[in-house]
Amino acid sequence: MIMTTFKKELPLLARLWLRLGRLLGKTVLIVLGAGLLVWALAVAWFAWQHRGPVSAQEQIPDGEAAMTQDVIQTAVRIVDQHRESTRYLRDAHAKAHGCVKAQVQVLPQLAQDLRQGVFSEPGKVWQATMRLSNGNAYPQFDSIRDARGMAIKLLEVPGAQLLADRQGQHEQDFVMFSHPNFFVSDVAEYRQNVAAQADGQKIRAFFPGWDPRTWQVRHLFIALATLSPPPESPTQTTYFSVSPYKFGEANAKFRVMPDPDNCPAYALPRQNQDLPNFLRSALNQQLSTDRVPACFVLQVQRQDANKYMPIEDTSIEWREQDSPFETVARITLPPQDFDTPALNLQCDNLSFNPWFGLEAHRPIGGINRLRKAVYEAISDYRHARNTGT
Ligand code: HEM
């Protein structure tokens, strides 16, 4: 009896099952179609919003000075949070792989229109100091995903310095990290984002409210991409200025790329990446143990204001198809012994700042204006507390 009922009902169940399958199939297709449409609309909207021409001048929004003061408070809070019983460290890029001596040679055949500022004299060799670092505010293991920093200070640079109180210093700094764009556009967004992060609220940093118009999904992806796995060595990755600078009359971004072809061939022995400071070991292995120099090129990418190459939005990477990078100098790290207690302390006590330099390379755009006040404040804060250590 039970068997007969089951046999009769089986086709009905099968039909229901098939119908459910068709319904599910249709739903998936509709969702996929709607998703594609939204994606296409978003791409079109993005392209429409992000099209040239743009301004070749800085545009300073109202209230920037007050927002900057807020950021300084947060940055001091971060420095205090990370101090624990150690010295006061940098608010960002706290851990150095080393400070090394470098020579920066302006290209001997540099084109006339690229001869600007410290690149005015073809063939000129500048002595420089370079600090290589991890991006995090805490000196964590090198294997952890992070941005990697490179800061260069050209020494004995003649001419008036940008900052009135730095006239005796004669320097030109270039401060970069290993990703071409930044996870925020401007000062207002930085203030909101970093305050949330300092409170340990990583989600709120990119999703500050319920209103989807405030969600920074693209910027979240930039932040995730910036935190990348470590290179084999600090000499084997590319560093970008991210924010723009004057380049004589023009505006430009710059980058530093490894240039192994201009150095003796060298294969770095495999480092044990489980060791906390293996990037320092890699640098030490090449320059100190194996005594092989490392080479880079320093390049500039000039703004074409007819293209979408904005000054006031650091989340936008200037596209190479809109304006190519052009080499202006070669950088050599000669063989050297940099990893000594005295040199490491000297390295920690140095300050690099995009505002230490000449008018010809003046930092421009909101994020650089913000950096002027914040780097100065944090550098003073930690130096004042580290005296005598
Ligand atoms: C354009 C994007 C940026 C790049 C490429 C960048 C890169 C760097 C690098 C490489 C360092 C380490 C310098 C050294 O070796 O001493 C550094 C330090 C620092 N950065 Fe940035 N940074 C950027 C944006 C910012 C922003 C927006 C802020 C905050 C407003 C900031 C705050 C700091 C501070 C406070 C230090 C430590 C300064 C010191 O105590 O000497 N940075 N940055």
Query: What's the confidence (pLDDT) of residue 172?
Result: 98
Name the CA radius of gyration of the chain, rounded. Answer: 26
**Does 375 sit in the ligand 1 pocket, CB within 6 Å?**
yes
Residue of the CA atom closest to atom 36 of ligand 1: 92
pLDDT band per the 50, 70, 90 thresholds, residue 122: very high
Query: What is the DSSP pairing of strand 294-302 with strand 172-177?
Result: unpaired
Q: How far is the CA of 290 from the centre of ligand 1 (A)?
A: 31
**Does 67 sit in the ligand 1 pocket, CB within 6 Å?**
no
Give pLDDT tens digits for 61-102.
999 999 999 999 999 998 888 776 667 887 789 999 999 999
Query: For residues 149 and 226, what is the distance between their CA atoms, to the nearest angstrom?
Result: 11
Query: What's the confidence (pLDDT) of residue 88?
Result: 82
Query: What's the confidence (pLDDT) of residue 85?
Result: 62
Average pLDDT over residues 125-146: 96
Q: Choose the residue to mutate in 283, 313, 375 for probing ligand 1, maximizing ligand atoms within 8 Å of C-beta.
A: 375
Residue of the CA atom closest to atom 30 of ligand 1: 371
Q: Please, what's the largest Cα pairwise distance for the chain?
A: 104
**Does 367 sit in the ligand 1 pocket, CB within 6 Å?**
yes
Give pLDDT tens digits for 44-59.
999 999 999 999 999 9
Query: What is the DSSP pairing of strand 125-134 with strand 96-106?
Result: antiparallel
Percentage of the chain modeled with pLDDT above 70: 96
pLDDT band per the 50, 70, 90 thresholds, residue 388: low
Give pLDDT tens digits for 364-384.
999 999 999 999 999 899 888
Query: For residues 175 and 188, what is the distance between their CA atoms, to the nearest angstrom?
Result: 22
Backbone angles phi, psi at 283, to 5 degrees: -65, -45
pLDDT at 4 over 70: no
Give pLDDT tens digits for 307-354.
999 999 999 999 999 999 999 999 999 999 999 999 999 999 999 999
Q: How far is the CA of 14 from the centre of ligand 1 (A)?
A: 65
Between 275 and 2, name the one with better pLDDT: 275
Q: Average model confidence (pLDDT) for the chain?
A: 94
Secondary structure of 294-324 in the HEC alphabet? EEEEEEEEECCCCCCCCCCCCCCCCCCCCCC
Query: What's the confidence (pLDDT) of residue 219?
Result: 97
The atom number, within ligand 1, closest to the CA of 93 reads 12
